[in-house]
Structure 1
Amino acid sequence: MKWLLIILTSIGLSGCNSTHTTTADTKQKVDVTSLFNHSLFTLKPVQTEAEIFALPESEQQAAISFFGKYADANMRDDQVLGRFLDAKLDNFSYDGETLTATEATLNRAGNCISLAVLTQAYANVLGIKTSYAKVDSYPMFRKHEKFIITSSHFKTKLFANRATEGGENEQQTLIKGTVVDYFPDQDSVFSGNAQYEDLVAKFYTNLAVSALLEADYDLSYSLLSAALKYAPRDAEAINTAALLHKHVGDINSAKQIYGYAFNNHLTSTNLLLNYLNYVPKDQTVLKNMIQTELDRSPASPFDTLSLASSYIEQQRYKKAKKLIEPLLLNYHYLPEVYVELGKIAYLEQRYQTASEYFEQAVNKSREQYKKDLYIAKQKMLNHLLVRNEDIK
């Protein structure tokens, strides 16, 4: 699959310059790793921050040379880098792997985090400041044995060089920039701002999940330890850490990690849903507290759909519909909204309604693999409708 890349010029508001300060060097107010059962694992070496963003000398010179061609052009530095990336990433392929900047350039492949890392690496060489936007998507959940894997990606904003905007001493509130989105055609929504430290943490967490799936528990532990130094409040890294302890047989530590996250407000919908599974049925007060937090926790429509999906599994269809139907107002363009309503209609044996929902999902989808899946579901439903008519 070719990369889908879009470069947009944007203007944002800011009161001060942003710089990259590493969370690893600052005092942390929370420390989930203090609850890790370190005796179960052996620390393995992982990529350093410098290694993640290092570029071969040839790539550094290519970027510098490209910039030299536009030295006298009426273009901002961020626009030049955007043009460079547009040309550079044209033949990159998506392979799902999280790679360092050097690995991505050598393989001409990687996933969205790899592309964000590569973009940051070029920005480092050229002295361009960056920030990020986290974008959530609701793909067909990819199951791997006992795991369900979801995904999110980052958009990168390259900030314009302020010196070109009126002098170093001038106080500026308008900051021009270029937004780089690697998957503009993907069904996704903005879910929050992110910084450099979040990107580093996401790199480590992605690799930790891959190691967990391969049952390389020591490597997963080592990568999660690194991730939480950069983003100690990252709910998905914490959730993965709890799952790691569960899969090495330490259920008690998993519970403690979930409890710590819950008590310190380090939660996400995924984390809360998993925590709920660890609480005994007789602990109704705690269960109700988690459920209350779940009901108000969704940060994006995809979180709402995940929560609704948990209600569907419990056959609480009315509750699920109550969550999903309001999404039709502001997120009517997301096919997954219609898919979940279609599932409910199917389970309630309202096959005609279910078929209509899946038809809507097909029409709303921008990704072909989703269209193909929804068309197959609709054909199955139409077959049921015909069979029921024949029985009558």
Structure 2
Amino acid sequence: MEPEEPTAAQPGSPEEAPLATAPPETPSTHSRLADAGLATLLVAGYVSPLLALLIGFVSSGSTGLALSLALVGLVGAVWVVVWLYRNIRRRGRGPALGWVEVLVLVILPAWGLAYNHMAKESCQVLECEQNSALFRPLAEPEVFGLLAFHAVTALAYVASRRRPQALQPALAELSVHASLLSGMVIHALLAVHFGKWVLAGVAFPPAFLPCLSPVLTLILYGAELRHRLRLRGADARSVAQAQPLAVYREVPAQSFLPQRIHRPTLLRALAVSPALLGLHAVLQAVWLGQSSGALQVFTRTCDYTLSRLPVEVIPGSCHYLCTVAARGHSWLVRPLRMGRRGGVPIVVNRQLAVANAFEDLLHERWPRFGRLARRTYDLLARPICNHLRPAWVSDIVYLVMKPAEWAFYLALVLLDPRSPEARIDRMYR
């Protein structure tokens, strides 16, 4: 009896089904959000500072032109973000990620170092400036040792990106993993130390993007460390699969199995990274001549999370926009009387009294919002007020503040349960 010829397997039968098939790749929501964040970061890092400088230059001559340019620049920035996003989705993240790495590891630290040097070194501040003073977040010269440590970890990151295969000798591979871990520890400390300014980097990227540098570096280092540990895990599995097995049937490798990190390599890196941090501390101590030199870059500052120096508030004369406006020509600003603020005599006109009465109403009825409004004003407008000296500049400020004065008075009429005029009259008495 002749054997039967094998019949063709029916579609979907177990005989035809492959042993291992990779699931189809479809763009996930997480992937789309990551690409959108990548495009936004590139525009914020490279385009926004140039646009801010251009607007600042134009605003010195024409405020209206500066506002128009800011609006056009905002629309243009949104368009560039959309264009970059589509380009990344079409061509991949490779080129864009390279520009992000240069921005995060080189440009933002240099930019932040310049900000750090320009900030207020002394912890003494005038009473009216305590909400707007920008203190130095990292002590100098200790910060230069921290910058050198960042350069070492950034070099390890570049080596890991350029050489994804295991480095020889094994000590070089271990050094890369330990350096990435140490860099993550340092930048996590920086992010905690900056505190609220990290949120400022999210809200106002053209001005405060360097405050996000530790968080962005932490993400880059963490992603690269995870990727490299997975590669070492794949290498270890390949070696194990290459060993001869005494089995009846060898099953093909399952290509869609989730990748796992190589735990022995991670444990060795966790053991070595404290030694790298300790070596940095020793070098800082030798250089500065103080045993706590590595910590003083954080502690020898004021008004930050890890700061140890107190802020010393001293009395002094300060000026605000309406106070500046009241110093204009009398035929325009119409001064009413002399008042006192903080023991210092000031000129009081109706605009100044109305503005202060509105603030007094906010503190009385909505104290939290009043404090927030005061901090925001002190941060944004307060630093420029002392530079407005000539009388004709005060006249311009007075005219610009007129719509605000009318809005403040309308709010007093609608919201003040008592007489608005009585509240206005008692200001600065």
Same fold (TM > 0.5): no
TM-score, reference length from structure 1: 0.20
Which structure has the larger Rg over C-alpha atoms? 2
User: Which of the pair is proportionally richer in helix?
Assistant: 2
